[in-house]
Structure 1
Amino acid sequence: MVYAIVRAGGRQEKVSVGDVIEINRVAGGAGDSIELAPVLLVDGDSVTSAQAELAKVKVSAEKVEDLRGPKIRILRYKNKTGYKKRQGHRQELSRLKITGIA
């Protein structure tokens, strides 16, 4: 089984062909092709982590859609002072389908 560890959206993701992943929002519309930077490649028994060899590897993905993550509620409270603050956040995400590891 061939899989790669790629750097995407500030994190590292384990991907193989056909996987669908969610990463931080990337520019472009649905159907656009995106290249991801590999950090590690596993091909059967061989593991490739040398930068010179990884420069030849291309991990391509297709952007499926843009979406937003779940709402995160941030609450701040200080006792005996009457200070309360509430804030919410939803992360902007992109869903990608891995189309090839070459």
Structure 2
Amino acid sequence: MSNNLKILSIFILLILLSGCMTKSHKENIYNKAVPIATEYMKTNYNSDVFFTRDYDINDPVDSAIVLYGYLIEDEDITFSLYMNHKTYKVNFVMGPQALMDKKVNSEDVGP
């Protein structure tokens, strides 16, 4: 293997490893995001929600955490909430029309 290829391989490996988060770091992000997301859903969709323990953190691709949940009043209405885990601002919510029809406010909630 040539020296340039070795250097490039090491550089790429370092970039990939620098973006990896520990499980406890991801859990800390999740634990901080859930109360903010719960308040966001209460304020903007007038809904009490439950967030499952399933979530995705898209680091290092972007700074998003995706939380998955459902309405407490109707567990069949599920949704995904996308939040920037560095600012804890909600980017958007995806769900069925029954949830979108509940939207009452478009103000941001977060620190």
Judge same fold: TM > 0.5, yes or no: no
TM-score scaled by length of structure 1: 0.32
Higher relative contact order (CA 8 A, sep 6+): 1
In terms of fraction of residues, the more strand-rich structure is 1
Name which one, 1 or 2, has greater alpha-carbon Rg: 1
Give the TM-score of the pair, scaled to structure 2. Answer: 0.30
